[in-house]
A and B are shown apart, each in its own frame.
Chain A
Amino acid sequence: MNEPHLGNPLGEKIARLLDHGLGEIKQGTLYRLQASRREVVANFHPVQGAQTNSGGTLAAHGRGSHYSGWHFKPAMLLPLIMLLIALVGLTYWHDHRQGEEMADIDTLLLSDDLPFDAYLDQDFDRWLEDTSR
């Protein structure tokens, strides 16, 4: 920036005249510009930048600065990741347990040691009748 305007004196002269034109902006417009700026600046809070007169930092509520509203922070991802891990773990444990139960039943059937619950199962009775015919 601030590179000299090589070979264009007309550009420089016009820029100077445009600068003069800035002084002719209406007061009402200047007031609105000033009001907009003040509002924007008032809503800007450099969170970590606030320092006391004695040199101590007033507060540090996180990194960076904010204007207003919700801001995404990487720390917010952590609970989500933990929830996903828990869900995957639960699903895996459930499948594993179901597989073990099936294996136990198969073992009991093969060893001819029928579990008591099998006699209460109507589907098992029907199966026995079908196979005995």
Chain B
Amino acid sequence: MSISNGYPLATQQELSTFLAGVERRAFKQAVFAVRNDHAALDIVQDAMIKLTVKYAEKPREEWPMLFQTILQNTIRDYHRRQKIRSFWTPLFSSFTPSHEENESDLLETLAGEDGTNFGGNPSDQLEKSQQVALIEEAVANLPARQREAFLLRYWEEMDVAETAAIMGCSEGSVKTHCFRATETLAAVLKKKGVEP
């Protein structure tokens, strides 16, 4: 096996396996952040390309953190571009994705469910699916930094130090963001009568 910078070079298969393992969650994270499927797909593709071009030679165990850093930066870049665009073209800013689009996605999700995702009877499946939809909506409605911290910590299973490094803030800030996000989500779910 060839060595680069003291580490074995990554193969296409390793890269493919890694990306296949993270792409869906990355897509969902991007959707929560930008509320637009097409933009989210572009963001994930950009993140994949950047990881491959710049960091594929890094050790495999560093890939998850590097990918998350790239993903979050790409999402921030998207927001920055959107802000500039809506500043210069206020006329067209009303065409940016709205909350209604997200709601229609949830309805489509419910209607399109084939019943294979959640075991049990159809009513259980429907209940679970509704829970998922509510939680996704609640997560998407969190403030950006809280959502980022919460998803990195509890969904991507990063520790506090890694999350802080990815977000470019202190570990204390990460804990605060996570605490507030959890509180907000608990309150929203309680209000909707959902017991996760």
Contacts and interface: CB of A to CB of B under 8 A. Distances in A.
Is A bound to B? Answer: yes
Interface of A: 1-3, 5, 8, 10-15, 17-26, 29-30, 32-34, 36-38, 40-44, 46-49, 51, 57, 60, 63-67
A41 B64 contact: no
A44 B15 contact: yes
B53 interface: yes
Contacts of B37: 29
Q: Is the interface of B mostly helix, strand, loop or mixed?
A: helix
Contact of A49 (B9, B118, B128): B9
A1 to B, nearest CB: 6
Given A14-B185, A19-B155, A44-B10, 18 more contacts: A3-B157, A3-B158, A10-B185, A10-B186, A18-B139, A20-B128, A24-B117, A24-B129, A24-B132, A33-B24, A33-B44, A34-B23, A41-B15, A43-B52, A48-B9, A65-B10, A65-B57, A67-B52
Contacts of A46: 2, 9-12, 56
A14 B129 CA distance: 13
B49 interface: yes
A64 B57 contact: yes
Contact of A36 (B11, B24, B45, B182): B45
Determine which residue in A2, A12, A13, A24 has the highest number of CB atoms from chain B within 10 A of its CB, and name it: A24
B154 A8 contact: yes
Contact of A15 (B19, B57, B155): B155
A73 B6 CA distance: 18
Given A24-B109, A36-B44, A65-B57, A14 B19 contact: no
B196 A13 contact: yes
Contacts of B112: 24, 26
